C-alpha cells in the first residue's frame, strides 16, 4: 500500500480501490473515484481523516508529493518523421464524422512507406478515456497515437503516459493558433499537438433580437419578450462548467492562477453567479435550461421560440437543415459588460504520442501531416470541424462551406483552456455542482462559492 492509497482512504473514508488492493499504482482516474463517490453521497471530509492524510503525506514525501511521470518523460524527435516507415495505429473514440479515418487514409496515400489506421476504442468520450488509460497503464504497444480530449492533457502527462512533444510543437508553432497550443501544455512543456479545436458561438434570430455585443446586453435583450429568450447548457455536467467559465473568464475571473493556486472565491465569481441566477428569475433564460445538454439546447432553439442559443460550431450545419435555415446568424462569444475582453473555453482534440509507441517516427510524420495548412482546410471543408491553422479560416473554399469562419476564429483566438490540473475532472465536478445549486435555488451564491473553493482545494490535495 503506497502513500497515495493511504491518503485517499484516509481522506474519503472509503475502502481501498481495486487498484490498491491488487497492488497496482493508483492513477489520477482512481483518485478521482473516491472523491466523486463521496460527493455523490454527501460525505464530508472528517477532521481526523484530513489530519491523518496530511501526516501520512508529510512523513512519506518530506512535505510534498512528487509528480510521478512528467519529469522523466522521453521526448519526441521532430526529425524522426522524415524517414519513417511501417505501421501506425491511431486510437480514439467513435469516428462519427469520419475525420480520423479520413485523415489516416489521406496520410497513408501521401506517405506510402507508412500504413496508418484508426482504431475506435470507445463509443463515447468517457469510454475512450477508460480504454486509453487501461492500455497506457498496461504499457500496451497497440496504439502509437491517442486522440486526447483537451481536458486530459495534465492527467496523462503527469502519469508519464505521453512523449514530450515540446520540440515538435515548437517546430510547428508558426502554423498553429496560440490558444490551441495552450491546451497541450503542462508544467511548461507540450504533451500533444492540436488537431482540431472548438469554441462556443452564439446563434441568434435575425430581425428578432440584436447581435450580442456583451453578455449583459444579451440577457437584457432576451428578457424583453418570451420569444427573445436565451437557451444554453445548464444541466449539472461538464457543459455547465464550460458555460459558467465562459462568463467567468469574460468577467476577468479565474479558477486557478498560473501557479495552480485556487482563486475561484472572488468578486468575479459572485458577480457571474448572481448574474446567471437573476437571468433565470427575470426570464432571460427559460428554467428548462437546467435540464439541457448540447442536443437539448439545439432542439429547443429549433422550435423557433427563442432568440439566442449558445452552442458549438457543428450546430450551424444542423440548423441549416431545419426550417430555421436563413433566419439566424452567428456571433463570437461576447465580453461580459464591455469592460473586459471576450473569452471562451476551448474544446477540441489533440494528438498525443504514447510513451509505449513502437513507431514514434511515424507518429511524428502523421502529426506533421495532420497540422499542415492544406490538411487543416479539409478539417473544415470535409468534416465541419474548427481548424487549428489560422490561414484556413480565410480560405475561399473554407468560407464557401463555413461562412461563419471569421466569427469562429474570433472565438477560438479569444478562448482559454479549462483549469490545467491532473485532477480536472474533480475540479469540474466542484464547479458544475455548485453553479447548479445556485441556479436551481438550493444554495446562496456565497455558500456555493465557498464550497466550490473548498472542494477544488480538496481535489488538488489528492494529487
Phi and psi (nearest 5°) for 387?
-65, 160
Q: Using one digit for the tens of pLDDT, what is the confidence trace for 182-206? A: 999 999 999 999 999 999 999 999 9
Claim to verify: residue 332 and residue 261 sit in the same structural domain: yes
Claim to verify: residue 88 and residue 171 sit in the same structural domain: yes
Claim to verify: residue 81 and residue 182 sit in the same structural domain: yes
8 Å CB contact between 210 and 339: no
Domain assignment of residue 380, given as a range: 71-198+346-414
> For 66-70, 244-248, 380-384, which range has the lowest pLDDT when averaged over its residues?
66-70
Claim to verify: residue 23 and residue 98 sit in the same structural domain: no
CATH number at residue 355: 3.40.190.10
Residues with Cβ within 8 Å of 87's Cβ and at least 6 positions away in sequence, in order, are 114, 115, 116, 117, 359, 362
C-alpha cell at 144: 502509437
Claim to verify: residue 160 and residue 294 sit in the same structural domain: no
Cell numbers 492527467 correspond to 155
DSSP 49-109: HHHHHHHHHHHHHTTSPPPSSGGG--B--TTTTTT--EEEEEEEE--SSSHHHHHHHHHHH
Claim to verify: residue 127 and residue 219 sit in the same structural domain: no
Mean pLDDT of 61-78: 67
CA distances from 214 to 340, 354, 462 (A): 10, 42, 38
Q: How far is CA 207 from the centre of its chain?
A: 34
Claim to verify: residue 328 and residue 353 sit in the same structural domain: no
Q: Which residues sit opposite 87 in a β-bridge?
A: 115
Claim to verify: residue 138 and residue 157 sit in the same structural domain: yes
* Residue 452 in this model has a pLDDT that exceeds 70: yes
What pLDDT is recorded for position 68? 52
What pLDDT is recorded for position 208? 96
Claim to verify: residue 316 and residue 327 sit in the same structural domain: yes
Decide which of 18, 41, 66 is a domain's last residue. Answer: 66
| Number of domains into which the chain is organized | 3
C-alpha cell at 104: 489516416
8 Å CB contact between 48 and 26: no
What pLDDT is recorded for position 253? 97
C-alpha cell at 372: 499542415
Claim to verify: residue 50 and residue 75 sit in the same structural domain: no
Claim to verify: residue 297 and residue 184 sit in the same structural domain: no
What pLDDT is recorded for position 317? 87
Decide which of 66, 96, 120 is a domain's last residue. Answer: 66
The structure's pTM equals 0.80
Claim to verify: residue 144 and residue 259 sit in the same structural domain: no
Q: Which residues sit opposite 198 in a β-bridge?
A: 347
% of the chain beyond a pLDDT of 90: 81
Decide which of 31, 66, 101 is a domain's last residue. Answer: 66
- State how beta strands 114-122 and 86-93 pair: parallel
Rg (CA), the chain: 23
8 Å CB contact between 421 and 256: yes
8 Å CB contact between 382 and 397: no
Give the H/E segment covering residue 193: strand 193-198
* Residue 378 in this model has a pLDDT that exceeds 90: yes
Amino acid at each position: 500500500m503506497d502513500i497515495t492509497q493511504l491518503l485517499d482512504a484516509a481522506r474519503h473514508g472509503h475502502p481501498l480501490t481495486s487498484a490498491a488492493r491488487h497492488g497496482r499504482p493508483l492513477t489520477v482516474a482512481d483518485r478521482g473515484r473516491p472523491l466523486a463517490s463521496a460527493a455523490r453521497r454527501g460525505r464530508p471530509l472528517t477532521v481526523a481523516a484530513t489530519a491523518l492524510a496530511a501526516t501520512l503525506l508529510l512523513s512519506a514525501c518530506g512535505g510534498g508529493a512528487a509528480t510521478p511521470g512528467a519529469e522523466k518523460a522521453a521526448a519526441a524527435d521532430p526529425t524522426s518523421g522524415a524517414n519513417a516507415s511501417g505501421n501506425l495505429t491511431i486510437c480514439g473514440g467513435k469516428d462519427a464524422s469520419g475525420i480520423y479515418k479520413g485523415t489516416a487514409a489521406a496520410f497513408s496515400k501521401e506517405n506510402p512507406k507508412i500504413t496508418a489506421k484508426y482504431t475506435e476504442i470507445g463509443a463515447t468520450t468517457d469510454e475512450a478515456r477508460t480504454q486509453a488509460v487501461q492500455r497506457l497503464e498496461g504499457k500496451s504497444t497497440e496504439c502509437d497515437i491517442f486522440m486526447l480530449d483537451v481536458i486530459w492533457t495534465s492527467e496523462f502527462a503527469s502519469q508519464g503516459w505521453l512523449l514530450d512533444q515540446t520540440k515538435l510543437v515548437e517546430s510547428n508553432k508558426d502554423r498553429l493558433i496560440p490558444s490551441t497550443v495552450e491546451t497541450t501544455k503542462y508544467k511548461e512543456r507540450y504533451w500533444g499537438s492540436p488537431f482540431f479545436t472548438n469554441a462556443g458561438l452564439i446563434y441568434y434570430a435575425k430581425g428578432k433580437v440584436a447581435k450580442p455585443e456583451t453578455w449583459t446586453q444579451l440577457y437584457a435583450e432576451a428578457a424583453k419578450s418570451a420569444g427573445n429568450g436565451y437557451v444554453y447548457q445548464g444541466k449539472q455536467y461538464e457543459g455547465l462548467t464550460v458555460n459558467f467559465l465562459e462568463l467567468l473568464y469574460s468577467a476577468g475571473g479565474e479558477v486557478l492562477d498560473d501557479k495552480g493556486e485556487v482563486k475561484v472565491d472572488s468578486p468575479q465569481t459572485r458577480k457571474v453567479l448572481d448574474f446567471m441566477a437573476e437571468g433565470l428569475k427575470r426570464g432571460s433564460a427559460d428554467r428548462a435550461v437546467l435540464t439541457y445538454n448540447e442536443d437539448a439546447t439545439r432542439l429547443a432553439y429549433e422550435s423557433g421560440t427563442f432568440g439566442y442559443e449558445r452552442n458549438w460550431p457543428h450546430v450551424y450545419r444542423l440548423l441549416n437543415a431545419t426550417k430555421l435555415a436563413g433566419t439566424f446568424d452567428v456571433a463570437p462569444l461576447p465580453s461580459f459588460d464591455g469592460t473586459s475582453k471576450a473569452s471562451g473555453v476551448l474544446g477540441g482534440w489533440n494528438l498525443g504520442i504514447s510513451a509505449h509507441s513502437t513507431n514514434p517516427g511515424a507518429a511524428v510524420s502523421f502529426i506533421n501531416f495532420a497540422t499542415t495548412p492544406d490538411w487543416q482546410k479539409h478539417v473544415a471543408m470535409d468534416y465541419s470541424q474548427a481548424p487549428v491553422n489560422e490561414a484556413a479560416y480565410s480560405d475561399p473554399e473554407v468560407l464557401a462551406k463555413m461562412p461563419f469562419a471569421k466569427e469562429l476564429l474570433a472565438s477560438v483566438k479569444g478562448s482559454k483552456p479549462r483549469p490545467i490540473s491532473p485532477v480536472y475532472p474533480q475540479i469540474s465536478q466542484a464547479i458544475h455542482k455548485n453553479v447548479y445549486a445556485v441556479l436551481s435555488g438550493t444554495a446562496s451564491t456565497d455558500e456555493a462559492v465557498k464550497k466550490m473553493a473548498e472542494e477544488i482545494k480538496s481535489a488538488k490535495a489528492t494529487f
